């Protein structure tokens, strides 16, 4: 059974990069695409981008271009999402999910990132 | 970018009610439309893909329909565990967007 397990909560000061991990079990990352979605407190879901482990291609939502870097380490079946120079309004729960034919399934449990001075 | 809207934003309902949530895309997306259920403190769960394809293990009281720009999610007889927030998501092309969500609340 496919499972995605994310790293624990982070507290960061504004401007200090944050990196969230997403480890897969039950399948081989080599053939999968991982996508990232965030949810600010009390708000809806916001798609951030995806990273294709097979060919290394990435696609970022326009509002995150230049601020986010998504990578995958296939040797450890772990995907990473790094947000550079975060601001207080980047405080959110960050989710990873497997992406296939436009469908997000399954999801990781989420990682709370708090950006505060 | 394709924008998604949902209505209503909030839907008070009772156990046993039949409810319908509407999702609209800013341009035609064929049937590239998925529905998710999210409960507080949990990750979203995929209910329906490709507008009307019910995922394995999802109760048959859930159904989806639509194509082009207008879509609906229907729950035929609400159960206590269905009170949650529902999101539509378009998957047309390589960029994706979610609707703002509909919160199904106990009346």
Average pLDDT rounded to a whole number, residues B53-76? 98
* Residue A52 contacts B, CB cutoff 8 Å: no
Percent of chain B clearing pLDDT 90 (strictly above)? 99
* Residue A6 contacts B, CB cutoff 8 Å: no
Flag if B34 and A47 touch (Cβ within 8 Å): no
Flag if B96 and A109 touch (Cβ within 8 Å): no
pLDDT tier at A28 (50, 70, 90 boundaries)?
Answer: low
* Cβ–Cβ under 8 Å, residues B35 and B86: yes
| A44, A50, A105 ranked by CB distance to B46: nearest | A105
Q: Cβ neighbours of residue A9 under 8 Å, at least 6 residues apart? A: A111, A112, A113, A114
Percent of chain A clearing pLDDT 90 (strictly above)? 84
**d(C-alpha A113, C-alpha A49), whole Å:** 17
> Min CA distance, A93 vs chain B (Å)?
10
pLDDT at residue B20 tops 80 = yes
* Cβ–Cβ under 8 Å, residues B98 and A45: yes
Residues in chain A with CB shorter than 8 Å from the CB of B89 are 45, 47, 104
Q: Beta strands B102-106 and B85-90: pairing type?
A: antiparallel
Flag if A102 and B44 touch (Cβ within 8 Å): no
Question: Left, alpha or beta for A77 (phi > 0: left; psi -120 to 50: alpha)?
Answer: left
Flag if B98 and A44 touch (Cβ within 8 Å): yes
């Amino acid at each position: 059974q496919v499972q995605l397990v994310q790293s624990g909560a982070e507290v960061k000061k504004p401007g200090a990069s944050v990196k969230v991990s997403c480890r897969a079990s039950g399948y081989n990352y080599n053939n999968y695409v991982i996508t990232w979605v965030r949810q600010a407190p009390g708000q809806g879901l916001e798609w951030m981008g995806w990273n294709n482990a097979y060919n290394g291609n990435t696609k970022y939502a326009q509002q995150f271009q230049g601020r986010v870097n998504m990578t995958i380490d296939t040797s450890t079946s772990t995907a990473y999402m790094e947000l550079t120079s975060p601001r207080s309004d980047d405080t959110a729960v960050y989710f990873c999910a497997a992406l296939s034919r436009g469908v997000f399934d399954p999801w990781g449990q989420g990682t709370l990132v708090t950006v505060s001075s | 970018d394709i924008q998604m809207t949902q209505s209503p934003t909030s839907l008070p309902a009772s156990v046993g009610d039949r409810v319908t949530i509407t999702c609209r895309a800013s341009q035609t997306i064929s049937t590239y439309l998925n529905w998710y259920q999210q409960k507080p403190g949990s990750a979203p769960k995929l209910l329906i893909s490709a507008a009307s394809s019910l995922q394995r293990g999802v109760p048959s009281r859930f159904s989806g329909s639509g194509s082009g720009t207008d879509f609906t999610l229907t729950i035929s007889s609400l159960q206590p565990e269905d009170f949650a927030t529902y999101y539509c998501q378009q998957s047309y092309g390589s960029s994706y967007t979610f609707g703002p969500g509909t919160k199904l609340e106990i009346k």
